Structure 1
Amino acid sequence: MPDIYKGCILAFRIDNTLCDGAAAVETFGFLDDDNCPPVDTWGYLHRTSHADRVLFAWIPDQFVNLVDNSIAVNPEGCIEWLDVWYPEMWKNLRELFEKFGQFSLKYIKLNYFNNSSIFCLNQFVFTRSLMV
């Protein structure tokens, strides 16, 4: 698989940020002062049952170490990898990846239904929509 398709999904709890700028320093500006990833990495904005907003963003492999560093210094804990906060969701996605083998999000659109959730993989976008 070309390196351009490798990466991780970051979860960012928008309403929990302290806007302290630590993430911007650790990532050399990849994440901004509010801990927010660049807009062209955004996949979906999800509302939790507690009305908190969680932004899912695709982080290309070449930025994963920088984002790891920012997670480590983030005092409010508003950023974390999808597999840490949502292990069941990540497990379901991994099963899809394994089932369909090598894939390119640029060319494949895949919908997966699981417990009222739809996972869509399309153009580097991971979408989770609740149907309630």
Structure 2
Amino acid sequence: MYSYLGTDNGWNYYNLGFGDFDPLEKKISDLTVSNNLDRDKILATVAATALEFSKWHPSCKIVIKGSTPARTRLYQMKICSHYSNIIELFDIQGLTKEGELVPFREGENFDGFIIERKS
């Protein structure tokens, strides 16, 4: 699910959130650990939605941050493992512990990411 966060300098910011539906709470939980062994398939599906969403919203920046530090680290590992493909379509910035946005660099840990589709 993409949630609108606001606008800054002509860019519309959206949070990319996903998780499992909790039938008791009747909402999506991003803290659930299902251990279905389908993690890579889910992340590939989420990445495909970012491609499609950014195609229809060309002036958007998508904010990506895990619900836990471990999940953020997982997202970073996946970005690194597919970096050569991702960088062809997106510019990626990393959010440092100090709250600064810097160009994504492999080997540096980040607290979150912002991607924008290249024109």
TM range (shorter): under 0.3
Of structures 1 and 2, the one with the larger relative CO (CA 8 A, separation 6+) is 1
State the TM-score, normalized to the length of structure 1.
0.26
State the TM-score, normalized to the length of structure 2.
0.27
